[in-house]
With several copies, the nearest count.
Chain A
């Protein structure tokens, strides 16, 4: 396999497709033309890209939960219960399916039937197959997205898109590095080029499918510039394959200035890089994920984390917000808990909707900082790839130029260590091989030193660990106990 950022030739795609559709028996039901026809039959208000575009034009922030259970009827009941409290629906896929372990998913389905309750952490769409997916889409009245974490998501894409889902989360980096251990980046990027090519093919047939790189990555103290770089790269890879509706994402860190700056800079940078790559006919939107790290177990406290995320999502101008629930620290939420998260989010979104977060030097500074960081990393990635962003990405991860904190993937260096500064913004404690400009590194170092002084201790891995636990223990910054 010779990876490159180049649209897959149709014959090559079709040949590969034949093989993909045989990897599990349900693949054989998928016919592309039939998928297009089915997608055409969906009304506008059930088309993800259209609903996002409208929200973007109106300056609204839409809400979307995560939700998925083992059995189809239960999954339908769940989505029906949620749709009155949200704007966009998900189908969160279970972890066996994400790793193409369809036989284990089958066992999970069987055991769930026996137990009378879902024993899977998501909806095993591949096992259920095309017709069942359509049953889900038809049973609800809002657009439905596939949300998962699948390094090789080709069959899942074939089945769910022909099944009427109109948005597909993920990407070759963001669904490998945080979600897998031994999958090579060449492999996952190539397999996601397939998914994007499939979406591009739908696009060629007049069906716009929304694509969303997974912004939060490991969800744990990821500095904005690093997730931005990944989102932009995945956007570029998708555009090349013909994708035209792209939602770039970001996971809240909890500092109001950094979070708002992150969404603003993300949108501006994505637009800039996409245009620089020669594209100008894309629809760009943004998604803000409420805090993706460890949650407090106390539900009242969890509500505050949820609400704070909703407030920042709204004030940052993100097009949608992915909503957590008061059960987050414990387990897959019940429908009721999920609705509570959505209701809390709706209230705060409505309350901040018409408020303008004031322009300030601090905000402008943070936006500029993120932009410089992203540009530094991106230009190294292009350099390593000798102009090819796919190749550059693989080499950048090898070299530790791209590096996601706390990720499980073997192909990730894991040398970048983030830590919060004295105001709770996430900064770079150890840069590893990430090529930030010298003055930027100094700035991060100074900011962290300021915190260290305030706490009367040296910055250390313990400080990082304290930050990992902090929000679950009811603070933003992991200060030592007094």
Chain B
């Protein structure tokens, strides 16, 4: 089954190149990719995910304001009924050159399931997606169906 995922670059961020590559990679990996492009607001991701019944949201932030733009994203998902939807974030997430593990702590703290640096191997991300979507389908959507 072709799973749907939503991707885009959050906030006021205009970096388009990585986004075009992510679309290409995930599409070739068999996903139905809804690409919102650059400068996407939290609600735009969520609208798209609800509309397309997506199984994961992948947020990019390249320009450094990720630490501000991503605040509250998880709560907003939950609020709007996307309970437990896999939330990935990747890119140059904070201002300046900082240790990746510190950056990871910040974004995990915000409720992102997976945090990736700019040099991530995208094949690894595809694997993570399959894995997390499987769990999501089993746990959350099963619960929903039962409810």
A and B touch in the complex (CB under 8 A): yes
Instruction: Name A residues whose Cβ lies closer than 8 Å to a Cβ of B.
Output: 95-96, 98-99, 101, 104, 107-108, 111, 117-121, 149, 178-182, 218, 220, 293-294, 297, 327, 329-334, 337, 406-408, 461, 465, 468
B12 contacts which of A104, A118, A337, A406 (Cβ < 8 Å)? A104
A331 lies within 8 A of B97 (CB): yes
The chain A residue sitting closest to B21, CB to CB, is A465
Chain A residues closer than 8 Å to B128, beta-carbon distance: none
B24 lies within 8 A of A465 (CB): yes
A297 lies within 8 A of B119 (CB): yes
How many Å lie between the Cα of A257 and that of B67 in the bound state?
42
Number of B residues near A (Cβ < 8 Å) is 25
List 6 A-B pairs, Cβ < 8 Å: A95-B14, A117-B95, A180-B39, A330-B96, A407-B16, A465-B24
How many A-B pairs have beta carbons closer than 8 Å: the answer is 88
How many Å lie between the Cα of A96 and that of B119 in the bound state?
26
Chain B residues closer than 8 Å to A327, beta-carbon distance: 96-97
A331 lies within 8 A of B14 (CB): no
Chain A residues closer than 8 Å to B38, beta-carbon distance: 181, 408
Interface centre among B38, B65, B97 (most CB of A within 10 A): B97
How many Å lie between the Cα of A180 and that of B15 in the bound state?
10
How many Å lie between the Cα of A293 and that of B24 in the bound state?
19
B12 lies within 8 A of A218 (CB): no
A120 lies within 8 A of B65 (CB): yes
A181 lies within 8 A of B14 (CB): yes
Chain B residues closer than 8 Å to A107, beta-carbon distance: 68
Known: A121-B65, A461-B24. A330 touches B97 (CB 8 A): yes
A331 lies within 8 A of B92 (CB): yes
B104 within 8 A of A: no
The chain B residue sitting closest to A220, CB to CB, is B17
In the complex, besides A294-B17, A331-B96, 19 extra interface pairs with C-beta distance below 8 angstroms are A95-B12, A95-B14, A107-B68, A111-B68, A120-B95, A121-B63, A180-B39, A181-B14, A218-B17, A293-B17, A297-B119, A327-B96, A330-B92, A330-B96, A331-B92, A331-B98, A332-B95, A408-B39, A465-B24
Chain A residues closer than 8 Å to B20, beta-carbon distance: 406
How many Å lie between the Cα of A406 and that of B37 in the bound state?
11
Interface of B is mostly: loop
How many Å lie between the Cα of A331 and that of B93 in the bound state?
9
Instruction: Name B residues whose Cβ lies closer than 8 Å to a Cβ of A.
Output: 11-14, 16-17, 20-21, 24, 37-39, 63-65, 67-68, 92, 94-98, 118-119
Interface centre among B17, B64, B94 (most CB of A within 10 A): B17
- Shortest C-beta distance, B42 to chain A (Å), equals 13
- Shortest C-beta distance, B91 to chain A (Å), equals 11
How many Å lie between the Cα of A179 and that of B63 in the bound state?
12
How many Å lie between the Cα of A293 and that of B118 in the bound state?
13
How many Å lie between the Cα of A297 and that of B95 in the bound state?
16
The chain B residue sitting closest to A299, CB to CB, is B97
Known: A120-B65, A121-B64, A181-B38. A406 touches B16 (CB 8 A): yes
The chain A residue sitting closest to B100, CB to CB, is A330
- Shortest C-beta distance, A158 to chain B (Å), equals 21
